[in-house]
Amino acid sequence: MQELIYFFLISVLIMMSVLGYGYLFIKIANFKIEKFNLGLVGFLGLFFLSIIASYSHILMPHGYMHNIIIIITGVLSLYFFSKKFDSNITSNLKYLILILSLLFISLLISKTNEDFPYYHLPNSLQFAEQKLQFGLGNLNHGFKHISSIFMLMSINYLPYFEYYLFNLTNFIFFVFLIYFIIYEIYINKEVNHNISRIFISLILILFLTKFSRLAEYGSDISAQIIIAIYLYFILEILFNNSLNSKESGQYLKLSIIFIIFASTLKFILVIYSIFLIMILFQIKKEFFRQIIKFNYLVLTIPAIIFYIFFNFASTGCLLYPVEKTCLNDHFKWALS
């Protein structure tokens, strides 16, 4: 019983730390949305953390001290920045923790994904115990599959718990999704009452039924969650006539972030960028200039660099398994 209490408390602490990085990202990226859904803040925090973790891994392993500093920094960010964006942060946190508590039992009774021992655990443990190493794709087929989800999992490598918190990352994705949908349906009065509301309701039903156990949570499901939120914002831009140009611009920024994040989680999902490209072709040049700003690019481009660089480090290919991108003629450790 004592272990379960510790597990629950560290789950809440890690979730609050992620929220802290979300608010820090909002401040740096200069978002101007008046009411921020805590679920959205959480997703932005996960995105920001994946970038921070990828760069720190180049210099050091994600060991106990690294991860403790990361978590403490996130909690402090939540304390200092949250009230600037949300005056009701205390009550909203209570609802979020309530959702986590209700879903917590599903985490305890679930088994891991079939791919977890194959390449989820080895990759995450590699990030936790070693700094960047080249050519790992030669050791095991699992090391050829690069995803930012493993980088996020490695941050949960903590004393006493060790690697038993790795799957908590997938669970936190799910908690943020449920809160996000409930908020958008029942609290956010600006949501389009037709297509967007129907779509997000179907997403809620889908994820509560099909992905009802942790065994369904491979590296795919977290990326699919992000794609679902991305498509929601695309629908809002296209069909919600109550949004002004400023709000549409913020939603477009979020769409860009989420398609990039989803691509680093599962690269094949980059195909969904076709919807974003269609919108970008239709907007005015002045509107486009407002969207693409320096501080915004500084926060999104590293995610793209992360995926290409870590693909190269593991396999010697810029985009594995595209053969023409493999540099085996120049590096002995690169795959053919």
Please say whether the beta carbons of 252 and 279 come within 8 A.
Answer: yes
Please say whether the beta carbons of 98 and 91 come within 8 A.
Answer: no
Assigned token pair, 279: 């919108």
Please say whether the beta carbons of 184 and 233 come within 8 A.
Answer: no
| Per-residue model confidence (pLDDT) at position 21 | 94
Q: What is the SS3 assignment for 282?
A: helix
| Per-residue model confidence (pLDDT) at position 280 | 72
How far, in Å, CA of 111 to CA of 77, rounded? 33
Matching residue, tokens 């611009």: 249
Omega of the bond leading into 321 within 30 degrees of 0 (cis): yes
Please say whether the beta carbons of 130 and 61 come within 8 A.
Answer: yes
Of the CA atoms within 13 Å of residue 255, those in its CB half-sphere come to 25
Please say whether the beta carbons of 157 and 63 come within 8 A.
Answer: yes
Q: Count CB neighbours of 267 within 10 A.
A: 18
Residue 162 has φ and ψ, to the nearest 5°, of 50, -130
**Any alpha helices (H) in 187-284, and if so which ranges?**
195-209, 219-239, 245-265, 273-282
According to DSSP, the residues that pair with 326 across neighbouring strands are 317
| Per-residue model confidence (pLDDT) at position 103 | 84
- pLDDT per residue as tens, the chain (336 positions): 778 888 888 999 999 999 999 999 988 887 776 667 899 999 999 999 998 998 888 889 998 999 999 999 999 999 888 777 777 788 888 889 998 988 887 777 766 667 777 777 888 888 888 888 887 878 877 777 788 888 899 999 998 888 888 888 888 998 999 999 988 888 776 655 578 888 888 888 888 876 655 555 556 788 889 999 999 988 888 887 777 777 777 888 888 889 989 988 888 888 998 888 877 776 655 555 555 554 555 556 667 777 788 888 888 887 777 778 788 777 887 877
Residue 264's alpha-carbon distances to 29, 232, 261, 319, in angstroms, are 19, 19, 5, 12
Assigned token pair, 247: 């709000």
| Per-residue model confidence (pLDDT) at position 253 | 84
Question: Would the CA dihedral through 25, 152, 148, 315 be positive or negative?
Answer: positive
How far, in Å, CA of 286 to CA of 134, rounded? 44
Assigned token pair, 228: 């679902």
Radius of gyration of the chain, Cα coordinates, nearest whole angstrom: 20
Q: Count CB neighbours of 240 within 10 A.
A: 19
How far, in Å, CA of 41 to CA of 17, rounded? 11
According to DSSP, the residues that pair with 317 across neighbouring strands are 326
How far, in Å, CA of 135 to CA of 144, rounded? 9
How far, in Å, CA of 175 to CA of 39, rounded? 8
| Per-residue model confidence (pLDDT) at position 84 | 76
Please say whether the beta carbons of 262 and 269 come within 8 A.
Answer: yes
Please say whether the beta carbons of 296 and 29 come within 8 A.
Answer: yes
